[in-house]
């Protein structure tokens, strides 16, 4: 397993936000993280990235107990796009590449996989929301990570942007990477995910294959059935 979280608990302020999160990500697969607003999806991703230590439970990455050094094999975009608006996409990537010590070849590979080669010389501040989202993902890809984590990548995108993210996620999978992304866009989860984890009120209500979650292909009906039952 690339990710194996078992019975993770975590408070934020006085609230017990996570109260039993189980999450698995298999090699080379795409996992969609679902759940209502405030269910704990972002908190779960933050625990995985070591931004918030778990109070209890176990977090394993790449088959071993979590360590900070294992994050070298993870690329993440969890806090929205962050880059220098006055620099081109290419220069932004070059700055990040030198920070993490990878060569110019990594910049070209990240531009290609994020679908930004044609606009690489444009200043980032002129980018649409969709292009910004792909630039953030390109930055996450620089270190050639085995696991890519995206927090609500479709957020605020128009239909074309949503389609570009779908194609990007598929390219990531075809290049052998595992992808974990949170989303409220059920149609996109249905279109790209192999597996689904659904968190409701801080607990995992379902974790397994997409086809097991929605055997008849109706992800919306399955989502409401699982979230209603878990809120019980
Ligand atoms: N910095 C913080 N301090 C205190 N509480 C927080 C903080 N961040 C989030 N929370 C609370 O933790 C709970 C879970 O938030 P989280 O962002 O993990 O949920 P989410 O499933 O990602 O939600 P959404 O779908 O709205 O993004 C919410 O009740 C939220 O108010």
Per-residue pLDDT reduced to its tens digit, 168-189: 899 999 999 999 999 999 999 9
Residues 100-111 have pLDDT tens digits of 899 889 999 999
Phi, psi for 62 (deg, rounded to 5): 55, 40
Atom of ligand 1 nearest to the CA of 46: 18
Residues 69-91 have pLDDT tens digits of 999 999 998 876 678 999 999 99
**CB-count burial class (<10 Å; 0-12, 13-18, 19+) for 46:** buried
Output the pLDDT for position 81.
65
Element (H, E) at 105: helix 104-113
Give me the CATH topology for the region 3-82+147-231: Rossmann fold (3.40.50)
ipTM confidence: 0.96
Q: How many angstroms does the Cα of residue 184 sit away from the middle of ligand 1?
A: 15
Best residue for ligand 1 mutational test, from 14, 15, 51, 152 (most atoms within 8 Å of Cβ): 15
Q: How many angstroms does the Cα of residue 152 sit away from the middle of ligand 1?
A: 13
Check if the beta carbon of residue 194 is closer than 8 Å to that of residue 32: no
């Amino acid at each position: 397993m690339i990710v194996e979280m078992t019975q993770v608990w975590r408070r934020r302020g006085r609230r017990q936000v996570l109260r039993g999160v189980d999450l698995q990500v298999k090699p080379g697969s795409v996992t969609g993280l679902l759940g209502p607003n405030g269910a704990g999806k972002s908190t779960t991703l933050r625990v995985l990235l070591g931004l918030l230590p778990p109070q209890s439970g176990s977090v394993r990455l790449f088959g071993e107990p979590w360590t900070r050094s294992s994050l070298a094999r993870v690329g993440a975009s969890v806090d929205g796009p962050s880059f220098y608006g006055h620099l081109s996409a290419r220069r932004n990537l070059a700055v990040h590449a030198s920070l993490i010590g990878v060569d110019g070849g990594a910049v070209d590979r990240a531009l290609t996989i994020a679908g930004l080669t044609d606009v690489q010389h444009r200043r980032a501040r002129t980018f649409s929301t969709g292009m910004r989202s792909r630039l953030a993902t390109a930055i996450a890809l620089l270190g050639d990570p085995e696991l890519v984590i995206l927090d609500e990548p479709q957020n605020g995108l128009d239909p074309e942007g949503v389609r570009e993210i779908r194609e990007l996620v598929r390219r990531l999978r075809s290049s052998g990477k595992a992808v974990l992304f949170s989303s409220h866009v059920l149609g996109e989860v249905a279109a790209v995910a192999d597996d689904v984890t659904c968190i409701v009120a801080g607990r995992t209500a379902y974790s397994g294959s997409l086809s097991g979650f929605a055997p008849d292909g109706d992800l919306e009906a399955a989502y409401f059935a699982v979230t209603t039952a878990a809120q019980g």
